[in-house]
A and B are shown apart, each in its own frame.
Chain A
Amino acid sequence: MTDKKIILDIRNFSVSFEQYDKGFSRTGLPVIRNLDVTIHEGEMVAVVGSSGSGKSLLAHEILGILPYNATMGGELLYDGEILTKERQKALRGNEIVLVPQSTAFLDPLMKIGPQIRKGKKDRASREKLNEIFQGYHLKEEVQNLYPFELSGGMNRRVLVSTALMGNPRLVIADEPTPGLHMDMVRRVMSHFRELADRGAGVLLITHDLEQALEVADRVVVFYAGTTVEDADVSDFGSEEMLRHPYSRALFRALPQNGFQFIKGTQPYVKELPEGCPFGPRCEQCIEACKGEIPYREVRGGRVRCICAK
């Protein structure tokens, strides 16, 4: 993978929301504290974390569509250069595309065809859409339907089609398979795998580790606004290969590994502990875990844990 070009490089990124407390005191709510993700061309990286860990915000920050009361820190590099607001504006929808969770993200009153073409009526965009639809075995009549008229099977293919109207080099899939049957999940995932095989970088945001392991090349484990580990999918073959105690806990929670769960819950942003966010639930937690924890290379992957060897 390393010989391929890096398309997206997020380093030590943070997002916090400004919130009004009681009275007029303003507080920053650090929803994402330490986020590091690297995606190469043709690579599919899954960011896995439970709900409330700040995963969706990651997608929004790359696209530059976070609400105005959000402040960001750290570095966001796209294609080797800093991704500024202006670049985000120019690139989103064309080079950087988002595939949303469901058809609830489509305008209920606009027909599918014109909606995917963003209202454009010229011949080039019409032909391009017809081509994309053919590729996904969607009939041309589907373009005349409204979102509520789509069947469950069409939904996903239509949503993926929206991504192909541009020339995607980075595809962000935000929980693309909520509540779907496993067969369906495999089919949807195969669409994304296909995009990666054609050379685009794919960022898959999901809470389903099992799903991620099936299609992705690398898995980034996300916990309470922090990336704790960046591991190759093959590392999830056995517990010992993994580096962070939380990744190991996730591994043990998989059905084939005995469904074991650990005590406690992911802390809420306002009640984050000092240092390692996983500290209070970790058996190996020592005094030094309450200090600054570097993100370092261990055995070919990266981990944010001082105990990892």
Chain B
Amino acid sequence: MEGNILNVTTLNTYINSIFRAEELLHNINVAGEISGFKVTKGHAYFTLKDENCQIACNCFNCAKTYIPKDGESVILKGSVDFYAKGGRLNFNVDSITSIGKGLLAYKLELLKAQLNKEGLFDIAHKKQIPPYPTDVCVITSYQGAVIKDIKKTVRRKNDIINIYIKDVKVQGKDCHKEIIDALEAVDQMNFDVIIIARGGGSAEDLMPFNEEQLVRAIFRCKTPIISAVGHESDVTLCDEVADYRAATPTAAAEKIAYDTQELKEYISYCGKRMKGALESAVALKCKDLNGKVNLIKTQVKLNFSQNANKINSYVQNLKNLMDKKVAESDGRYAASLARLKADNPLGILQKGYWYVSKNGQAALSSKDLHEGDDVSLKTHDGQLKAVITEVE
């Protein structure tokens, strides 16, 4: 046997030293497609391949970098390493960058900037989500858990909202077209709110919700739109353009589901407030009216007091005038009485004259009487009957 005999350790250590020494194999970027990607105890193990060759790869503490999927095209940064103990050649990966993702992300940023410039994301265009909807349409996959979550969340506190489901595909390259058709159809049906919902997924799964046509279709809708796509951390262009972005489908359900019991109490409270407001209005008017009445009373009293002296004076004048008239009347009465007394025929009788009458007619002349006539004689204190015995 010729030449030195090496043990395996010596050989592998030697190979390792060659790989370590070769600068061209350190800190290099290698492009290829991921295959057999798996993570064990925080370390990723997979194969990078192209159409002809492949190389085993390790990525220790892989949480530090992008986690690719099988079949994804990536660029790996790292160094070639020969693992002496196992006698295996590996590529030790420091970081992974998705070629597709990088390109898509760039295109997405461009689209987002363009739509933003056009004003599609402006707050001024956001329609208010009605606080008390009764008819809500959910555009989602009927098969998924989304609709169950929404129903459960809504019904927990609200039993009057009608939930209409428009079943669409929410995954796949062209699913956005189906969503657009559904959106345009249900936008004509006068729903209070439309929710576009999808459960969580990878960035690639959610890419249809970044499609320009879908974003523009949402912008054109007259119905308020809630976007509930993916998880909290996933923000799609659908979320940006929608009138309200819910972090999850459950959050969208929370947004629309008002508590019916609380609402009943609120309505009752509105009734009490209206009653109170009306009572206050009436009380205010009464107070106003009382004020005016008091004002009039005060004014009347003032007027009366101002005019009282004048009235007293009038009364006094009137009284004086009356007294004077009465006094004058008294004088005239006394004079009349005196005259009356003077003219009284009875006054003459008191002087000794007698009044002679025959058959009720005054006998003013001796010629009126004849012998044998019955005559009446009246004195101041009585009446006598006599017979004429002789006429001379």
Same complex: no
Chain A residues with a Cβ under 8 A of chain B: none
